[in-house]
Amino acid sequence: MNHFDPYRFISNWLEIGKFVSFHSYIQCIIGIHEVPKDSALGRLKGSDNARLTVE
């Protein structure tokens, strides 16, 4: 039987949402390396962050 299961559909989306929020949370901890230096966040993090992430 291949009928639509709303519970499974919702739980799948919750799993995806948890993974996405967890991934962005990990990126915040590690430090977002993809931020361009000319952006506001790049200027905010600056050279001090570059020195910290190497250590």
DSSP annotation string for 5-47:
-HHHHHHHHHHHHHHHHHHHHHHHHH--TT--TTSHHHHHHHH
* Predicted model pTM: 0.31
**How far is it, in rounded angstroms, from Cα 36 to Cα 46?**
10
12 inside domain: yes
53 inside domain: no
Range of the domain at 12: 1-40
54 inside domain: no
Total domain count for the chain?
Answer: 1
15 inside domain: yes
3 inside domain: yes
Taking only the tens of pLDDT, the chain with its 55 residues reads: 567 788 888 888 888 778 777 777 777 776 765 555 555 555 555 555 455 554 4
